[in-house]
Amino acid sequence: MNEADQILEDTAIRLFNDFFDTDALRRAEAGEWPASAWEALEATGLPLAFVAESQGGFGAVEAANLVMVAGRHSVPLPLAETLIANRLLSAAGLALPGGPLTIGPVQSDDALHLSRATEGWHLRGTAHRIPWGRCAGIVVLAQYDGRDYLASIPVGAARVDRDANLAREPRDTLHFDVALPEGAVALAPTGIGRASILDFGAALRSLAMAGALQRLVEITVAYAGERSQFGQPIGKFQAIQHNLAIMAGQAAAAVAAAKMVAEALDPAVDRLRVAIAKARTGEAVGKAVALAHQIHGAIGIAQEHPLHFLTTRLWSWRDEFGNEAGWNAYIGRQAVASARLWPFITAA
């Protein structure tokens, strides 16, 4: 990593450490919006990291790394979503409104529609499971006249039905019946469509999961070294050691897959890399989380214990933006359609 990238990463780590100790995570889990943390994040410019470098972004690999770091710290903020939203806005030539942002629709069954109004546009439709929907502006893909458009909607404009994922992160249903000015809507640029939100979402969730898995291994190793039973740290028992080795293997594979997709986001998203990353990190989660809970024993199941901040996020994220079943089927389709399997893999 070069010096500039290291500074970027250190800034993020410092911020996350300052704002998100266990108590802060508890407050966020109870529904408190971390306003001062977001302000501090905005002040660093990090939410713009994923826009094109020519427009002030820091580079896709660097932006991806920030998401991995945020995952490592269980950051209860829509950082990934804001990164994607700002990228979509800047690609479409729309104004960047600042503040926390999210994206939608995220479910394949949901569709939003634009119609022309006397002045500007009108947006209608319902989008389910929108990350941080209640506290963020939103950038949506909507259809008008058979074509894809991007629209920027301020927080509060949609009617919100609150819901959450297993980590109690907001996953709200947004009902749109909103008037939008001209400047809030633009034709989606070439290469940007419904699938883009899925691709970017899956890619960044993979990175967040990889970071969280790294931290999961770290804290579980530490726990095994501290918790004593039968007169010694449980980490001395071979069964525990082998399970930790298995966790480390899954985490390493997840990080490798996440770094592979980080390299494949610019200038266009390589969907095969997205699929490999999302499928592999998702699969790693099942195995690693089970072992982490097993090694922690009963205390890890208590809400009082910080383990669940990581494990409930991992359980949630692996099923967002498509899970292993869908993404592995995509890889399989591509593999079967290729002329020869080995060259397909070396080019992947």
Partner 1 sequence: MTSKLSFPVPPPDGSEVAALRLEVRAFLDEALSGMSPRERARSWSGFDAAFSRKTAERGWIGMTWPRQYGGGERSAMERYVVLEEMLAAGAPVAAHWIADRQSGPTLLRFGTEAQKRMILPRIAAGECFFCIGMSEPDSGSDLAATRTRARATPGGFIVNGTKVWTTYAHFAHYMILFCRTGDQDKRHGGTSQFLVDMTTPGVNVRPILNLAGEHDFNEVTFQDVFLPDSALIGELGNGWTQVTSELALERSGPERFLSSFTLLDQMVGIVAHNPQPANLAQIGRLVAHTAVLRNLSRSVASILQHGGEAGLQAALVKDLGAELEQEIPEVARLLLAREPTIAGDDFSAVLAHLILSSPGFSLRGGTREILRGIIARGLSLR
Binding residue (CB under 8 A) for partner 1 from 36, 263, 297, 302: 263
At closest approach, how far in Å is the CB of 245 from partner 1? 4
Here the tokens at position 113 are 């529609």
Omega before 105 within 30 of 0, i.e. cis = yes
Residue 72 vs 87, nearer CB to partner 1? 72
> Within the chain, how many helices (H) and strands (E) appear?
11, 10
User: Whole-angstrom Cα distance, residue 148 to residue 142?
Assistant: 6
Interface with partner 1 in residues 173-232 (CB under 8 A): 214, 217-218, 221, 224-225
At closest approach, how far in Å is the CB of 290 from partner 1? 16
Here the tokens at position 116 are 């022309």
Binding residue (CB under 8 A) for partner 1 from 117, 245, 268, 302: 245
Binding residue (CB under 8 A) for partner 1 from 129, 171, 259, 296: 259
Binding track, positions 300-329, relative to partner 1; x by CB under 8 A = ------------------------xx-xxx
Cβ contact 287:280 at 8 Å: no
Looking at residue 170, the DSSP 8-state letter turns out to be B
User: Whole-angstrom Cα distance, residue 330 to residue 316?
Assistant: 21
Here the tokens at position 66 are 């920030």
Residue 15 vs 254, nearer CB to partner 1? 254
Binding residue (CB under 8 A) for partner 1 from 4, 7, 179, 345: 345
User: Whole-angstrom Cα distance, residue 261 to residue 258?
Assistant: 5
At closest approach, how far in Å is the CB of 93 from partner 1? 32
Q: Is 118 in the site for partner 1 (CB under 8 A)?
A: no
Q: Is 346 in the site for partner 1 (CB under 8 A)?
A: yes
